Amino acid sequence: MSASALLIPCRSKLQATTLQRRGSRGREVAMPDIHPGSAIVERTHGREKDARLFRHVMACLDRSPDAARILDEAVLLANQTGADLTAMRVVPAGSSTVQCADPVDWELTKRDETADILRMSDTVGATTDIRAIVACGSPARCIHDEALRSDVDLLVLGTGTFGPPSRWSLGGTARHLAEVFHGSVLLVPDDIAGEPPRTRRIIVPMDGSSASEAALRFAAAIARARGAELVILHAFSHVGAFDPGRTQQGDQVLWHEIREEAARTAEDRLERLRRLLPVHRPGNRVRRLSGDEPRRALMKAICEERGELVVISARGLGNDPDLPIGSTAEYLLSRAVTPILLIRNAETSSHRAGGAAPRRPAALRQLP
pLDDT tens-digit map of 115-171: 999 899 888 877 778 999 999 988 999 999 999 999 999 999 998 765 554 554 567
Inform me whether the pLDDT recorded for 195 exceeds 90.
no
Who contacts 313 (Cβ-Cβ below 8 Å, separation ≥6)?
A: 209, 211, 212, 214, 215, 326, 329, 342, 343, 344, 346
CATH architecture entry for 3-192+348-365: 3-Layer(aba) Sandwich (3.40)
Summarize the confidence of residues 63-72 as an average pLDDT: 90
Q: Radius of gyration (Cα) for the chain, nearest Å? A: 22
| 3-192+348-365 and 201-335 share one fold | yes
Domain boundaries, the chain: 3-192+348-365, 201-335
* pLDDT band of 64, cuts 50, 70, 90: confident
Q: Which element (helix H / strand E) includes 207?
A: none
- Helical pair 139-149 and 172-180, crossing angle rounded to 10 deg: 40
The angle at the Cα of 124, spanning 118 to 131, to the nearest 5 degrees, equals 45
pLDDT band at 34 (very low <50, low <70, confident <90, very high): very low
- Name the CATH code of domain 201-335 (choices 1.10.3720.10, 3.20.20.70, 3.40.50.620, 3.50.50.60): 3.40.50.620
pLDDT (0 to 100) of residue 84: 94
Q: Which amino acid appears at position 50 of this protein? A: D
Nearest to 45 by CA among 34, 35, 30, 55: 30
